[in-house]
Amino acid sequence: MKIGFIGLGSMGGAMAANLVKAGHDVTAWNRSPDAARALEGATAVDTPAGAFKGDAVCTMLADDAAVRSVILDSGALDAAAPGLVHVMMATISVPLVVELAERHRAAGIGYVAAPVFGRPTAAAAAQLNIVAAGDPAAIATVQPILDALGTRTWPLGDEPQRANAAKLAGNMMIALAIEAMAEATALTESYGVKGADFLDIVTSTLFASPAYKGYGASIAAGAYEPAGFKLRLGLKDVRLALDAAAAKGARLPAAEVVRDALVEGVEGGLGDHDWSALAEVAHRRSGLRG
């Protein structure tokens, strides 16, 4: 397939490289042009519109503002090739997903919401889990792309916002898991039990799952750089989850607690650290850190 790829950060760069490895003809655009030029086997273009010329285009951008600027305000939709399908893989707000679906429909372009679960290492290994929603025919068209990027695609129906709601809920659960380990180690360390020893116990028994094991290891080692997922982006996602819940009258009190801890972390200079640095916030609150 001829595929455009927009957004070559730590996740997007690895994903685009896997599409090249899978034999696809990849055209790339990035805000920092050097990243597109450095993508071996791909063709760099000068504008987002240049990536909207093939069978499909994938976008992996940081937030709503970036999506609005790069996709809606740039004129890329007006320049899109007939029959193209846009695969939006970023974690963005539900209202923006609805707006994007409407704008794509008006432009005669397919739109598939396909946010991913997985850290940059999983992206590099093509082991992402992808939640996908949108027109079934459009999803079928881009399934070879999704197969090249992940181990499984989880279909969630024909309304694109369902995929983003699921992604926000999943990220919220990860934030809650990190906060749980942060508070638990604050408790154990206050009684002289090393956080690393406690986390080894619980991640080998009660909570032997990838999220607890992975982030538990970061907390145990106090290793928050380089960031697999920045704390400030975690704050963005928890806020989006709370906004999505409020729109339906749902209450997420635990998420509100985590949001406040994430705000404290950003204000405390941890915004560009991995979001497992939430442990530092809990430990500072408990007087265990300076």
Structure confidence by residue, pLDDT tens digits, 236-286: 999 999 999 999 999 999 999 999 999 999 999 999 999 999 999 999 999
**Band of pLDDT at residue 151, cut at 50, 70 and 90:** very high
Residue 219 has a CB neighbour count (10 Å cut-off) of 29
Q: How far is CA 189 from the centre of its chain?
A: 32
**Is 167 an annotated catalytic residue?**
yes
How far is 243 from 238, CA to CA, in rounded Å?
9
Considering the entire predicted model, what is its pTM?
A: 0.95
Which of 2, 21, 53, 167 is catalytic? The answer is 167
pLDDT at 289 over 90: no
φ and ψ at residue 56, rounded to 5 degrees: -155, 160
Quickly list H helices, the chain.
Answer: 10-21, 33-37, 64-67, 94-107, 120-124, 136-149, 160-190, 195-204, 210-221, 231-247, 253-267, 278-285
User: Which residues, other chains included, contact 109 with Cβ-Cβ below 8 Å and sequence gap of 6+?
Assistant: 77, 80, 84, 85, 86
How far is 72 from 52, CA to CA, in rounded Å?
12
Judged by phi (left if over 0) then psi (alpha if -120 to 50, else beta), residue 222 lies in: left
User: What are the tens digits of pLDDT across the range 10-40?
Assistant: 999 999 999 999 999 999 999 999 999 999 9
Helix (H, G, I), strand (E, B) or coil at 208: coil
Could you tell me whether strands 116-117 and 150-155 are parallel, antiparallel, or unpaired per DSSP bridges?
Answer: unpaired
Domains and CATH numbers, the chain: 2-158 (3.40.50.720), 164-285 (1.10.1040.10)
